[in-house]
Structure 1
Amino acid sequence: MKSLLLTLAFATSLNVQACTTIIIGRAASADGSIMVARNVDPPNIRIYRGSFLYHPPTKDAYEIRGVQNQFVHQVPPNSIGYSGLADIRYSNYSYEESGFNDLGVGVSATETILSNKKTLLVDPYVKQTGIGEESINSAVLPQARSARHATQILGSLIENYGAAEGFGVGLVDAKEAWYLENAGGHHWVAVRIPDDAYFVSANQSRIGEVDLSDTANVLASPGIARFAKTNGLFHPERGEKFNFRNIFGGDTERDVGYNYPRVAHLQGLFTASLHGQKVNGNSFPTFLKPDRKLSVSDVEEALKTYYVDTSSDPYTTKNPGATARPISVYRTTQSHILQTRGALPPAIANVQYLNLGMTALGMYVPFYHGVAVPEEFSIRVPDEPDSTSAFWKFRKVQLLAMQDFPRYAPMVRAAFDALRRTIAARQEDVEKEYIATYSKEPLKAKSLLDNFVQKSAADALATAESLTNKIMLEMSADVEKKYRFPGNG
């Protein structure tokens, strides 16, 4: 994420590193689904807070515009309806971050990365008019008919407009997932996630050695190898293989404490033999097979982690100076898991699990694509705390719990985790009932999903408010004990 102050954005966006991405192939998942997940971590919570919106399909073309720069793109006629988490303080098409379209294509944008200085000298970012994080979902989802098609659309936008910044983007449908990274202003590579593997990224280029001729699994900007060779970035005459991150990616001293620990931790979490792996530069495997097949719950827990039971845990130890940047940070504004399940009916095949605020002190609420979003999640999130928006209801709990994390975090996690298990069991029952009902009674089947989403969201918000009150009550008792004077007992 980058600052929404225009002048500051251009000056600092390349130095702001945020977000953590996880992608799970369908044969690596417990239920045969594909998952694309990401924590969205802007520099501070005042910068990006999304409203969960649905944009219906349109017959006419329409225009989207950047809010940080002068990027302008016309979406072609006969667009596809899609959902997004827009920051509607700026426009209904700004920073939509994650969502599905009506054809079951999902996009999560973006993982902030940085091309190296040599690349940017010969092909700098197109900061004034190029496409950036704020516009990717809004430009791609209304047109995409598959994850591959979405990848090609984004690649074409980079080639034609230029990229305003460095980014990695996850794209998914019922059959496959892709991950795209740009190189400088006009080049890019995307890889298909192997079905039996997972992929993790933390603010660095993660795509390694690729075979550009393998178009079933690799897509790229035309002439990217020739461009790299011509500009002295790639030396095939020396026997070098085309390794995208070695050629174009940044790898600096800052990455050692900021990015390496997150990738190492996640890989060790899913593949035990890599736990405590020694890191020598950005040399992590791009794809790995998990020790066991991974569930939505496994991905949720991974996105909540903060190096528990180690000296790098900044929260339990109350040590904000811990050297490793954790995966769960307070400045997270939302975390999502886009899950696609091709074997299920379309209405329940695509689910977005949404956690607002700091993941370690929040919970993931499931939303089926196309089901009406509760007002608390869709309204404009105000700059100042309010009593209505879901974001601020969750943030209040998180703020209070952070005042004494060791004391209050267990209470918060226990309540949210118990509710999440209840919702997961209820979701399984609702889906079985939906499958048994939808062919004969479609309206009844739809109401099952509507009611499930509404109740799940309401229960999550009620739990957040209850936790807020409980922590405030304990804090109030502490203040009373602290300020007791002679004569009042």
Structure 2
Amino acid sequence: MSCTTILIGKNASYDGSTIIARDDDSGSGRYDPKRLVVVAPEDQPRHYRSVLSHVEIDLPDDPCRYTIAPNVLNNRGILAEAGANEHNVAMSATETIAVNERVLGADPMVELKPAQGEPGDEDYRPEQPGGIGEEDIITLVLPYVKTAREGVVRLGELLETYGTYESNGVIISDVDEIWYVETIGGHHWIARRVPDDCYATIPNQLGIDDFDLADAFGRQREYMCSADLREFMVKYHLDRTMGVPGTSGGRHAHSAGFGSTASAGAAVSAGAHSARRAAAVSAHVSAESTSPNGGDSRDGQIAALVAALPRRFNPRKAFGATTPKDHIYNTPRAWYMQRHLNPSEDWDSPAARYTPESDDIPWCRVPEDKVTLEDVDFLLSSHFEGTPYDPYGTKGTPETRHRYRPIGVNRTGHMVALQIRPYAPACNRTVMWVSFGSGPFTTIAPFYANVDDTPAYLRDTTPEVSTGNLYWTNRLIAVIADAHWYETNSAINGYIERVRAFGHQLVERTDERIIEDGYTEENTGDVRAAVAVLEEANGETGEYLREHTAKLLNSVLYTSSNLMHNSFAMSDRWA
């Protein structure tokens, strides 16, 4: 499993933007070179065929332009990973998650089944394509939607029609909303809107921990899901919601009348759920005993049980999977992100509510302070700084320093934070803050999304090692500096500070030029009128990165060369 995600609602961000960000980490032992490219409408396929699953899909004939950060190699498909379109809709896909065996038994993954035998043979079986996956999702959704909600609906239709062969989380945002979609088995899905005043953290687990079925099948203000989710839950006994516990005469009870650990409203709701479920089961048993054929119709049974479902349930418990490995690989990352954004809470004492191995760390919560891009960059490159679990730290023991999987790992391909700003004109509203390579040794820089081309330093990444592009230069810096963390850290931190400061200055300067020179769509009637200005700004960022990343490579190479084990000089003896 790979990747870590953080989502920032517009009222939780420092400037009112929606911000979605994700590390795209290659699988263990693999390193996927990344690039930044624009897909023009004429280059978007009209008939799509997946490399991995061989599923074939006819696509609409009216795609829009979009900018993405895909793999360089196409051996596993396009794998667009992160992008934004000209309508200021952004996507990041995917966050690998897991569902439990009950879900997989009820709705198996749609996997590619190769052909058996040869055509004309008696036992010949043609190939059976699989569903869609990470390779396909952005390519199939982003060019065709104008709002995040439209993106959720389109993705849901694709999942229900073609299925999927893997469990994924998908993020879709616009200037007003962030939606997080989780696939449930082969064809089902749920989606929750990130509350405006919250951030959400997702570390390779099915994360949504609260879902309102009434809203999902009603006004859909905060929740959406596949059309038959309730029937699916009932038919395969996936709901695990208990009523409010209490005691009555020394016996355990579940009803509104005995709950003492929840609020009155929650108790009434849970008690009502228990009563509805009991009534539904009773009615079902009664129907079985009176029906001439020994039972009511299956549809009638399911309808009664659907009516008895609770309004709210916990998808993490209903659909998710939890194993001891999560406590090494996944939950510590959520713990560290929330520890950073809500620092006044107790995270470290023996009495702490949440520990690195807690399974119930909230999916979303309100931060203590508004969240900045620097917070996002720090967290998605973090390695448990300030704790006994930091692999570069001095606290703890050699064992604790390698106990948990850090967020910033060696095999990160890129981190892209997609910022959609409500105060900017539509033509320059979306900024992609991009870093390539291992997070602790690099940082984000801004690139406007609404362009026709991207700087060569990020666009023309080569499959093989080269200092002519950002990806490989940052990879080389990380490999050299890793062995000499303390000796090279000052130079790396200086680079990070300079690049971030340059980025903010460039965005401010470019935004002002857009307004002052009258490039806004209000003046021109064309949301793409400022493309040349934005490409000029992106080119300036690309050249700044080329110059300063090369200087950083020179610095860490020199410092590390002096620390080689085979170093020797005559002056060592005769100084």
User: Fold conserved (TM > 0.5)?
Assistant: yes
- Is 1:232 the counterpart of 2:240? The answer is no
Q: Letter of the 1:462 partner, please give it.
A: E
Structure 2 vs 1, CA of residues 324 and 61 (structure 1 numbering), >3 Å: closer, same or farther?
Answer: closer
- Is 1:379 the counterpart of 2:453? The answer is no
Structure 2 vs 1, CA of residues 419 and 52 (structure 1 numbering), >3 Å: closer, same or farther?
Answer: closer
2:487 maps to 407
1:3 maps to none
Further displaced range: 407-416 or 26-35: 407-416
**CA distance in 2 between partners of 1:457 and 1:438 (Å):** 25
Assess if the C-alpha contact under 8 Å between 2:487 and 2:559 holds in 1.
no
SS of the counterpart of 1:157? helix
Assess if the C-alpha contact under 8 Å between 1:39 and 1:336 holds in 2.
yes
Q: Letter of the 1:256 partner, please give it.
A: H
Deviation by residue 1:154-191 (Cα, 9 ceiling, x = unmatched): 11111111111011111001111100001111111001
1:36 maps to 20
Structure 2 vs 1, CA of residues 275 and 427 (structure 1 numbering), >3 Å: closer, same or farther?
Answer: farther
**CA distance in 2 between partners of 1:152 and 1:257 (Å):** 35
1:186 maps to 187
**CA distance in 1 between partners of 2:550 and 2:44 (Å):** 43
Structure 2 vs 1, CA of residues 80 and 445 (structure 1 numbering), >3 Å: closer, same or farther?
Answer: closer
Shift of 1:385: 0.7
SS of the counterpart of 2:325? helix
Structure 2 vs 1, CA of residues 153 and 457 (structure 1 numbering), >3 Å: closer, same or farther?
Answer: same
Structure 2 vs 1, CA of residues 361 and 486 (structure 1 numbering), >3 Å: closer, same or farther?
Answer: closer
2:55 maps to 71
**CA distance in 2 between partners of 1:386 and 1:80 (Å):** 33
Assess if the C-alpha contact under 8 Å between 1:45 and 1:333 holds in 2.
no
1:348 maps to 428
**CA distance in 1 between partners of 2:506 and 2:107 (Å):** 52
1:9 maps to none
Aligned counterpart for 2:548 among listed residues 438, 456, 463? 463
Aligned counterpart for 2:38 among listed residues 54, 67, 88? 54
Shift of 1:34: 0.3
Assess if the C-alpha contact under 8 Å between 1:59 and 1:78 holds in 2.
no
Shift of 1:323: 0.9
Deviation by residue 1:249-293 (Cα, 9 ceiling, x = unmatched): 011101112111111111121122445142475312222111111
SS of the counterpart of 1:21? strand
**CA distance in 2 between partners of 1:201 and 1:304 (Å):** 15
**CA distance in 2 between partners of 1:53 and 1:487 (Å):** 51
Structure 2 vs 1, CA of residues 176 and 480 (structure 1 numbering), >3 Å: closer, same or farther?
Answer: closer
Query: Where in structure 2 are the equivalents of 1:169-248 lying within 5 Å?
Result: 169-214=170-215, 215-234=220-239, 237=277, 241-248=312-319
1:453 maps to 538
SS of the counterpart of 1:175? coil
Any stretches of 5+ residues in structure 1 without a counterpart?
1-16
Assess if the C-alpha contact under 8 Å between 2:436 and 2:442 holds in 1.
yes
**CA distance in 1 between partners of 2:359 and 2:177 (Å):** 26
Q: Letter of the 1:66 partner, please give it.
A: S
**CA distance in 2 between partners of 1:153 and 1:91 (Å):** 26
Deviation by residue 1:421-468 (Cα, 9 ceiling, x = unmatched): 133123212212221113479999654433322121211222221121
1:166 maps to 167
1:284 maps to 361
Shift of 1:338: 0.5
**CA distance in 1 between partners of 2:424 and 2:191 (Å):** 28
1:331 maps to 411
Shift of 1:46: 3.9
**CA distance in 2 between partners of 1:379 and 1:109 (Å):** 22
SS of the counterpart of 2:214? coil
Shift of 1:486: 10
2:513 maps to 433
**CA distance in 2 between partners of 1:197 and 1:75 (Å):** 35
Further displaced range: 243-252 or 62-71: 62-71
CA RMSD of aligned residues (A): 2.5
Query: Where in structure 2 are the equivalents of 1:276-315 lying within 5 Å?
Result: 276=347, 277-279=353-355, 281-315=358-392
**CA distance in 1 between partners of 2:180 and 2:380 (Å):** 18
Please, what TM-score do these two structures have when normalized by structure 2?
0.77
Aligned counterpart for 1:391 among listed residues 466, 471, 476? 471
Any stretches of 5+ residues in structure 2 without a counterpart?
113-129, 242-276, 279-308, 348-352
**CA distance in 2 between partners of 1:235 and 1:419 (Å):** 49
Please, what TM-score do these two structures have when normalized by structure 1?
0.90
Shift of 1:92: 10
Deviation by residue 1:281-315 (Cα, 9 ceiling, x = unmatched): 53122221111111222211221211112220012
Structure 2 vs 1, CA of residues 159 and 444 (structure 1 numbering), >3 Å: closer, same or farther?
Answer: closer
- Is 1:370 the counterpart of 2:456? The answer is no
Assess if the C-alpha contact under 8 Å between 1:75 and 1:143 holds in 2.
no
Assess if the C-alpha contact under 8 Å between 2:97 and 2:205 holds in 1.
yes
Larger Rg: 2
2:341 maps to 270
Q: % of aligned pairs identical?
A: 28
Assess if the C-alpha contact under 8 Å between 2:92 and 2:170 holds in 1.
yes
2:149 maps to 148
SS of the counterpart of 1:94? coil
